[in-house]
Structure formats: C-alpha cells, structure tokens
Amino acid sequence: MSAAFVVLCLSSLSTNASLRSVLTCERLHREPVSQARGQPSGPPECSGRDALFIGRQVLPPFGRHLEGFAILPFATPHGCSCILLRMIAPDRVSRIVAGFEDTSDGEAAKSRELVLMLLSLTSAPFSRSQFTPGHITCTGLVTGPCGGKLLLVHHRRLDRWLLPGGHVEADDLSNPDGEIADAARREVLEETGALLQNAADPVLAGIDVHGIPGNALEPYHLHHDLVFHFRAESGAVRVSPESRAVVWCSPEEFDRYGLPGSARRCWARMKGTFLDPPPARF
C-alpha cells in the first residue's frame, strides 16, 4: 500500500460514528496498540492503530482532536481505513477546569494550572500512553443519599484506600452526548457497582495532579485528576477485580482509612451542598 491513503468516515461502525468527510492522509508510524475491537485483522501493516499525519500535526488515536473528532484507523479486507469519531474536545474540558476556583486550596490551584497546560499544549491529554507530562484521569467523590458518608475503594495495586476513579477510555471520548464527568461516573460503577443519582452537570469538586509509581509496563508519570461529586441512590456496593474492598466511610473514619488530603479537601469543599440535616446512616 502506498504511503498516502484515503481516510473513510463511516457511519455504520457504531452509533457514535459520524459521516463527516473524506480526507487524504499519510501514514507516519504505527503505535503498539491492540487491534480495534470488532474489526477485521487485515494485512500486517494495518494490524495496529496507525498514528496519522494531517497537515503538520501528528494525531494518535484518541489524541489531539480534529474539530471535536478523534481519528480511529482500522483494517479492512481491502486495506487500511479509518473513521472520525465525535469526541470530548480538550477545550470543553478546559472550560470546566477554568471555572474551578478555590483560593484557600493552594495545591488545587497549582493542579488547576497544570491541567490547563496539559489540555492546551500536549497532543494526547486523554491518552494513558502519554507519560510526559502525563494524562487526564477522572474520579468520583461519591456520597450517600443523605450525604453522611463517602465511598472508598481499597486499590489492589497501590494498596491504599482511595476514591473510585481511573483513566478516560475511548467510549467516554466518542460519546456524542458525553462529558468528561461521564468517565468518572463509569469508573465508579465499574469499581463499586454504586448506582448514582442523575445529575445534569456533576460539580467539579477538586483537581489533583499526583505521581503514579512506575512498574514493568509504565514509567513514573503524573495523573491530572478531575474529581466530580456524585450522590448514590442507595448504600448498595460490590467489590471489583481492581479493588480488595469497598466501604462507606464517615468523616470520623478518615484517619482510620488514611484518606489523602486532596480527597479530604474535596469533601470539605462540597459538604455544604450534600448534607441534609440530620444525616442518616448513609
């Protein structure tokens, strides 16, 4: 296949795909990423998701947006094609982050500036493979129906009690009606099974840029974490493969569970909005 090929924007791949236009691109390199789910295996040169070169800009899959769309190459029996998926654009997330203000929390203020820089200056702010300077993650500050307790998970790898959360995934980015808070909602459901009350615009309760220890697969890197507040429908939860335990924690138990300072400040910031006196069991 020649270096230049036609990029097809197909509306039939999924309900999130959008017929947009036909572009001509050059293959620049292949990233060692697994094959797109549900797509034919194709010839060897198209067995991965190719990074594409448009104009002078390198666009890894689910990396920098093209007018609100992500580029997803995939193999077909006839060669290598790709589609454009609607995605959550970095500038939309920047507006949410820029609207967060708490002059009493210097660490959150510094994290806010770092996240805004990440979103504006890096090529793939939502990609977990962008280790320098890091990538966006999303976390849920989940309170019970009456606001008296906070939902925590015991993280299996880090061996710590933390708020439920994790990486932004492709489905989060490609949801045409989605927002970045939906990634936090999905992570809460996956890790705890907690059913959350519907909220049109979950509040950004905190911002926390923190380091993640390296391992055999990943170097040390930074998580630029956005913490959104949710309220649970009930106290029902379950343990997931990523966690050893799930608990409802009262403020009096924060020390017992070693709750990080950033999570405590999120709780303090939001507690005036979710406590319905007198607080019930949850």
Give pLDDT tens digits for 46-90.
Answer: 333 333 333 323 344 444 444 445 555 556 666 665 655 556 789
pLDDT at 42: 37
Domain boundaries, the chain: 4-86, 90-274
pLDDT at 176: 63
More confident residue, 107 or 61: 107
Structural contact between residues 262 and 206, judged by C-beta atoms closer than 8 angstroms: yes
Q: Residue 250 above 70 pLDDT?
A: yes
Structural contact between residues 148 and 236, judged by C-beta atoms closer than 8 angstroms: no
The CATH number that domain 90-274 falls under is: 3.90.79.10
**Omega cis (within 30) before 44:** no
3-state SS, one letter per residue, for 136-204:
EEEEEEEECCCCCCEEEEEECCCCEEECCEEECCHHHHHCCCCCCHHHHHHHHHHHHCCCECCCCCCCE
**Structure tokens given for 242:** 């990523």
22-31, 56-65, 97-106, 252-261: the lowest-pLDDT one: 22-31
Q: Tell me how far apart the alpha carbons of residues 56 and 216 are, in angstroms, rounded to a whole number.
A: 33
Q: Residue 101 above 50 pLDDT?
A: yes
Q: Residue 244 above 70 pLDDT?
A: yes
Residue 144, amino acid: G
Distances (CA, A) of 88 to 36, 120, 196, 213: 19, 14, 22, 28
Give pLDDT tens digits for 119-158.
Answer: 999 988 999 999 999 999 999 999 998 888 999 999 888 8
